C-alpha cells in the first residue's frame, strides 16, 4: 500500500503529563497504569501558575453550580463555528459514508462497514499507535459502530490491503475492568516492503450513549495510559461528538492547567472544541460530567490546591446536586 500524500497530522510534541511536584502545585503527575509496559509517558513540569489556575477553574465551576452549568451549556447547545464549511459532506451524503446526517464533517477535517478499509489506511498514514473507542458495537439493539478490528484474541482480519491480528486482550487494570485493551498487530505493504506496527485499542464499554458513566477516575486512568505517545491518537464513539467530545475536553483542560493557561471560561473552551469538531459534547449531562470528573480529581486526590474551606463546602453541595441530576 502506498502512503497517501498530503499534509500529515503531527502529534503534540509536548503532550501534558499532569504531575504532583514535591511542593504540590495542585496538579499531579499521572502515571501509566498498565501492567504491560506502555509507551513512556512524557514528564512535564507544571507551570508555576498551575496551582492558581486550578483554584480559579474550580471556583468558577462551583460558583456556577449544576444549574448554572446547565444554563451555560443550554445557551451553546447548537453552537457551531460561523465559518464552518461542509460542502464535501453534503455532496457525498448519498454515498452512504457518514453514519449521521445531523453530525457534519468539516471541510478541513476528515466507521461504517463501507469505511473500515479507509479507517485502517488512516491509521497507517498517520502512524497512529493508539485508538480509543468509547462505545459498543450495538447499544439498546441499535448499530453504533462497525466491527472494524478482530474481536477475539489471535483472530486475524484483512481489510483491503491491511491485515490486523488481535495478539492480546486484557482489562486496562484491575480497577478499570470496563476498559478493554487489545494489542493489535497491523501489517501492510509499502513500496513493495512489508511493514508492521503495534496499535493499542482501548474500548470503554460502560459509557452510555448521550449519557455519562459512573463518576470515578476512569477517564484520568485512560488518559494517563495513552498520554505518552507522540503520534496522533484516534478517539471515537458513534457520532464522534458526545462521549468523544467529553474525553477530549477533559484532556484539553488538563493540558491547559498544566501549562498555567487560564481555563475558567468553559463556554469559550466549548467553542474551541467545536471549531474542530461540530457539536462536541452533546448533552448538558456530559458537560456536567466533564466538570464533575475534574473536580473529583482535584478535590479527592489533590486537595492542597483547593483546600479552602469555602470551596470544600461548595464542592460537597455540587456533588449532591450532581447525583440528583444524573440519578
> Pick the residue with more confidence: 3 or 271?
271
Contact at 8 Å (CB) between 32 and 38?
yes
pTM: 0.79
Q: Active-site residue 237, yes or no? A: yes
User: CB neighbours of 200 closer than 8 A, spacing ≥ 6?
Assistant: 38, 129, 130, 131, 181, 182, 183, 184, 226
- pLDDT digit string, tens, across residues 17-49: 333 333 333 343 333 333 333 333 333 457 888
Give the SS3 label for residue 162: strand
Burial class (CB in 10 A: 0-12, 13-18, 19+), 29: middle
Grid coordinates given for 100: 449521521
- Say what the pLDDT of residue 132 is: 98
CA-to-CA dists, residue 228 to 32, 231, 244, angstroms:
8, 9, 19
Catalytic residue among 80, 114, 145, 237: 237
**Phi–psi pair at 268, nearest 5 degrees:** -75, -35
- Say what the pLDDT of residue 4 is: 46
- pLDDT digit string, tens, across residues 77-99: 776 666 666 566 556 555 555 65
Amino acid at each position: 500500500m502506498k502512503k497517501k500524500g498530503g499534509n500529515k497530522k503531527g502529534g503534540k510534541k509536548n503532550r501534558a503529563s499532569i504531575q504532583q511536584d514535591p511542593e504540590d502545585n495542585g496538579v499531579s503527575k499521572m502515571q501509566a497504569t498498565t501492567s504491560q509496559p506502555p509507551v513512556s509517558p512524557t514528564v512535564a513540569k507544571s507551570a508555576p501558575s498551575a496551582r492558581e489556575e486550578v483554584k480559579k477553574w474550580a471556583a468558577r465551576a462551583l460558583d456556577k453550580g449544576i444549574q448554572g452549568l446547565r444554563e451555560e451549556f443550554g445557551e451553546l447547545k447548537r453552537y457551531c463555528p460561523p465559518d464552518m464549511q461542509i460542502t464535501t459532506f453534503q455532496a457525498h451524503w448519498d454515498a452512504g459514508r457518514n453514519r449521521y446526517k445531523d453530525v457534519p464533517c468539516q471541510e478541513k477535517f476528515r466507521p461504517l462497514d463501507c469505511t473500515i478499509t479507509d479507517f485502517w489506511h488512516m491509521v497507517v498514514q498517520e502512524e497512529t499507535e493508539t485508538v480509543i473507542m468509547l462505545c459498543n458495537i450495538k447499544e439498546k439493539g441499535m448499530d453504533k459502530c462497525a466491527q472494524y478490528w478482530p474481536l477475539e484474541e489471535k483472530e486475524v482480519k484483512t481489510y483491503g490491503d491491511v491485515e490486523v491480528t488481535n495478539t492480546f486482550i486484557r482489562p486496562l487494570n484491575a480497577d478499570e475492568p470496563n476498559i478493554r485493551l487489545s494489542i493489535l498487530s497491523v501489517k501492510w505493504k509499502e513500496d513493495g516492503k512489508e511493514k508492521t506496527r503495534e496499535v493499542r485499542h482501548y474500548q470503554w464499554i460502560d459509557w452510555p450513549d448521550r449519557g455519562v458513566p459512573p463518576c470515578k477516575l476512569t477517564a484520568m486512568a485512560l488518559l494517563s495510559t495513552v498520554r505518552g505517545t507522540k503520534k496522533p491518537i484516534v478517539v471515537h464513539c458513534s457520532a464522534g461528538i458526545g462521549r468523544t467530545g467529553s474525553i477530549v475536553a477533559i484532556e484539553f483542560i488538563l493540558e491547559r492547567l498544566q501549562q498555567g493557561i487560564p481555563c475558567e471560561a468553559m463556554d469559550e473552551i466549548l467553542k474551541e472544541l467545536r471549531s474542530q469538531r461540530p457539536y462536541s459534547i452533546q448533552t448538558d449531562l456530559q458537560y456536567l460530567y466533564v466538570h464533575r470528573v475534574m473536580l473529583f480529581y482535584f478535590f479527592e486526590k489533590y486537595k492542597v490546591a483547593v483546600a479552602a474551606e469555602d470551596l470544600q463546602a461548595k464542592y460537597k453541595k455540587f456533588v449532591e446536586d450532581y447525583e440528583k441530576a444524573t440519578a
